C-alpha cells in the first residue's frame, strides 16, 4: 500500500525545490495555479511536490513537474485543478518508473532515474504513441486506451513493458481529443466521450463515443491494410478507455472479430445503446477491477458483467483486486500481460515480411535503423547505400547494437 502526502506550491524555476509544508489528512491538496512571468514569457510554473512512504519504509523526496505536463488520471497530475490528486499517482502505486525528477530534500539526488524511451517508440500521426515490434516479427497489434483526462503519455510506460515481453506485437496508444466534460462543470479535458456524473452510468448518453469508436476502428483498419488480420488485434484500456474498449470491441462487425478485450477499472457505458454483435459472444474477455474503487465502483463492474452476460456473452472474466482503488497494481499488470500472451501467441509464420532495405527510401531506412538502435553507427553517412548496407548487415546478424 502506498501512502502519498502532497503539497502544491508555486516556485519561480523548474530546478528550484520549494519549501514544503506537508499536509496529511482525509483529502489531498489541490490548487488552481495561474500563469507567472519568467524572463518576459508567460509560463505555467505550477509544481507538485510529493513525499511518499512505500511498504512501511519512509522515503522522503520531492516530485517536481510543470503543471502543463499534467493530466487527470496519469502520474503527471491534473489538468483540472479541481480533481483530487490521489488518482494522479497510479505510476507510484503500480511501481513503474515515471518521467519525474525525484529528489531527496536533504541529499539533493535523484531517487529514480528518468527512463529512456525504447528505440522502437515513436509518436505517430496526430495523437498516437506507437511501440513498434522488432523488425520482421510484427504479427499482432494491441491498442491501449487511457482514462478520462489522461493522454497516451500516461500509459506508454505500461505499453513498453508489455512490448518487451511481447516483441511480436505493435502497441498503439492513442490520445483522446479534448472535450467538455459535464461532470467537471464543462471543463475541457481529453476524453473519449462526455460523462455526466459519478452515479449509476448505465443511462448515460455518452456524447462523442461514436466518434471515438470510429477513431479506434480507423486505427484497426490501417493495421489491417498492413496485413494484420482482425483476429490478431486486441483492444484494451483503463477506466473510460476500458469502457470504450468494451463498448467498441463487442459491437464490431463479425468480420472484425478481435483476439480479445482487456478492461481495467472500466464499465459498460450507456446500457440502452449497447448491442452485442451476434458471433462475438466468445471473444476472450478480461475485466480487472479494484474492490475499493471510489470512481468506477466495483458494483458497476459486477453490473456490467451481469448485463453483458444477459445479452448472451460467454466467458466474461471479472478479476477483483481487494482494497485496490481507481488505479492499477503490479499484480494486475502482470495478470493482464499473461492474458494478452494467451490471446496473441507468438507465431513467426504470421509475421509481416520486412521490406528489403534496397527498396526503402532514405527516410524509411533512417527510421528502421533508429528502431534497431543503430543511430550511433551512422555517424558520417552521406550516401543511401551506406544506410542500406548497415541495415542489411544488421538483419544478417553482422552488426550489433
| pTM score | 0.70
Residue identified by cell 471543463 is: 187
Domain-located, residue 163: yes
DSSP state of 154: G
CA distance linking residue 34 with residue 43, whole number of Å: 9
Domain-located, residue 26: yes
Q: Are 362 and 336 members of one domain?
A: no
Q: Are 85 and 206 members of one domain?
A: no
pLDDT of residue 119: 58
Q: Are 202 and 149 members of one domain?
A: yes
Tell me the catalytic residues.
239, 293, 326
Q: Are 171 and 299 members of one domain?
A: yes
The grid cell for 106 is 536533504
Q: Are 363 and 266 members of one domain?
A: no
**Domain finish residue from 56, 72, 103:** 103
Helices marked H in 314-361: 330-343
Q: Are 73 and 140 members of one domain?
A: no
Phi-psi region of 248 (alpha: psi -120 to 50; beta: other; left: phi over 0): alpha
Neighbours of 44 (CB within 10 A): 14
At 338, give phi and psi (nearest 5°).
Answer: -60, -40
pLDDT of residue 201: 60
pLDDT of residue 199: 67
At 92, give phi and psi (nearest 5°).
Answer: -65, -40
The count of residues in the chain is 401
Domain-located, residue 400: no
Phi-psi region of 368 (alpha: psi -120 to 50; beta: other; left: phi over 0): alpha
pLDDT of residue 83: 32
Domain-located, residue 147: yes
CA distance linking residue 168 with residue 385, whole number of Å: 28
Q: At what angle do helices 384-395 and 362-371 cross, to 10 degrees?
A: 40
Domain-located, residue 110: no
Per residue of the chain (401 residues), give pLDDT as tens: 333 333 333 333 333 333 332 233 323 333 333 332 232 323 232 333 333 322 222 223 333 333 333 333 443 333 333 233 333 343 333 333 332 222 222 223 233 333 455 658 888 776 899 999 988 899 999 999 999 999 999 999 999 999 999 999 999 999 999 999 998 888 999 999 999 876 666 557 889 999 999 999 999 999 999 999 999 999 999 999 999 999 999 999 999 999 999 999 999 998 888 999 999 999 999 999 999 999 999 999 999 999 999 999 999 999 999 999 999 999 999 999 999 999 999 999 999 998 899 999 999 899 888 878 888 899 999 899 999 999 999 888 887 66
Q: Are 322 and 365 members of one domain?
A: no
Q: Are 96 and 143 members of one domain?
A: no
Contact (Cβ atoms closer than 8 angstroms) between residue 249 and residue 236 = no
pLDDT of residue 400: 65
Domain-located, residue 382: yes
Q: CB within 8 A of 64, min separation 6: which ones?
A: 14, 17, 47, 48, 49, 100, 101, 103
Q: Are 97 and 140 members of one domain?
A: no
The structural domain count of the chain equals 3
Q: What is the CATH number of the domain that holds 214?
A: 3.40.50.1820
Spell 350-385 as b/e; 16+ CB within 10 A means b. bbeeeeebeebeeeebbebbebbebeebeeebeeee
pLDDT of residue 335: 97
Q: Are strands 46-54 and 2-10 parallel, antiparallel or unpaired?
A: antiparallel
**Domain finish residue from 335, 350, 365:** 350
The grid cell for 159 is 505499453
Domain-located, residue 109: no
**Domain finish residue from 350, 369, 387:** 350
Q: CB within 8 A of 277, min separation 6: which ones?
A: 250, 251, 252, 253, 254
Give the DSSP letter string of 282-314.
T--EEEEEETT-SSS-HHHHHHHHHHHHHTT--
Q: Are 94 and 130 members of one domain?
A: no
Q: CB within 8 A of 318, min separation 6: which ones?
A: 287, 289, 301, 302, 305
Range of the domain at 67: 2-103
pLDDT of residue 202: 52
DSSP state of 277: P
pLDDT of residue 325: 94
Domain-located, residue 401: no
Q: Are 234 and 335 members of one domain?
A: yes
Amino acid at each position: 500500500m502506498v501512502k502519498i502526502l502532497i503539497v502544491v506550491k508555486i516556485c519561480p524555476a523548474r530546478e528550484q525545490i520549494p519549501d514544503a509544508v506537508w499536509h496529511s489528512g482525509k483529502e489531498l491538496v489541490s490548487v488552481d495555479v495561474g500563469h507567472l512571468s519568467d524572463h518576459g514569457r508567460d509560463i505555467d510554473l505550477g509544481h507538485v511536490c510529493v513525499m511518499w512512504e512505500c511498504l512501511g519504509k519512509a522515503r522522503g523526496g520531492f516530485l517536481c513537474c510543470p503543471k502543463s505536463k499534467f493530466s487527470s488520471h496519469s502520474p503527471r497530475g491534473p489538468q483540472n485543478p479541481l480533481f483530487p490528486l490521489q488518482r494522479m499517482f497510479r505510476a507510484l502505486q503500480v511501481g513503474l518508473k515515471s518521467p519525474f525528477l525525484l529528489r531527496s530534500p536533504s541529499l539533493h539526488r535523484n531517487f529514480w532515474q528518468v527512463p529512456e524511451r525504447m528505440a522502437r517508440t515513436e509518436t505517430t500521426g496526430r495523437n498516437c504513441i506507437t511501440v513498434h515490434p522488432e523488425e520482421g516479427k510484427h504479427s499482432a497489434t494491441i491498442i491501449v486506451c487511457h482514462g478520462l483526462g489522461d493522454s497516451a503519455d500516461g500509459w506508454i510506460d505500461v505499453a513498453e513493458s508489455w512490448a518487451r515481453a511481447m516483441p511480436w506485437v505493435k502497441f498503439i496508444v492513442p490520445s483522446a481529443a479534448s472535450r467538455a466534460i459535464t461532470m467537471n462543470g464543462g471543463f475541457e479535458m481529453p476524453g473519449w466521450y462526455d460523462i455526466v456524473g459519478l452515479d449509476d452510468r448505465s443511462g448515460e448518453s455518452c456524447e462523442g463515443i461514436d466518434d471515438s469508436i470510429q477513431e479506434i476502428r480507423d486505427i484497426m483498419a490501417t493495421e489491417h491494410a498492413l496485413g494484420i488480420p482482425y483476429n490478431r488485434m486486441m483492444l484494451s484500456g483503463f477506466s473510460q478507455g476500458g469502457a470504450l474498449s468494451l463498448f467498441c470491441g463487442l459491437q464490431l462487425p463479425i468480420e472484425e472479430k478481435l483476439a480479445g478485450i482487456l478492461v481495467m477499472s472500466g464499465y459498460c457505458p450507456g446500457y440502452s445503446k449497447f448491442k452485442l454483435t451476434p458471433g462475438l459472444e466468445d471473444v476472450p474477455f478480461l475485466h480487472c477491477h479494484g474492490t475499493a474503487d471510489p470512481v468506477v465502483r466495483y458494483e458497476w463492474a459486477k453490473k456490467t458483467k451481469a448485463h453483458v452476460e444477459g445479452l448472451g456473452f460467454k466467458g466474461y472474466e471479472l478479476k477483483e483486486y481487494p482494497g485496490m482503488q481507481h488505479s492499477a497494481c503490479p499484480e494486475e499488470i502482470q495478470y493482464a500481460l499473461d492474458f494478452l500472451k494467451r490471446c496473441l501467441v507468438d507465431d513467426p509464420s504470421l509475421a509481416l515480411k520486412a521490406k528489403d532495405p534496397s527498396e526503402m527510401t532514405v527516410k524509411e531506412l533512417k527510421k528502421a535503423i533508429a528502431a534497431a538502435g543503430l543511430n550511433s553507427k551512422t555517424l558520417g553517412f552521406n550516401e543511401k547505400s551506406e544506410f542500406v548496407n548497415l541495415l542489411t548487415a544488421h538483419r544478417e546478424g553482422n552488426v550489433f547494437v
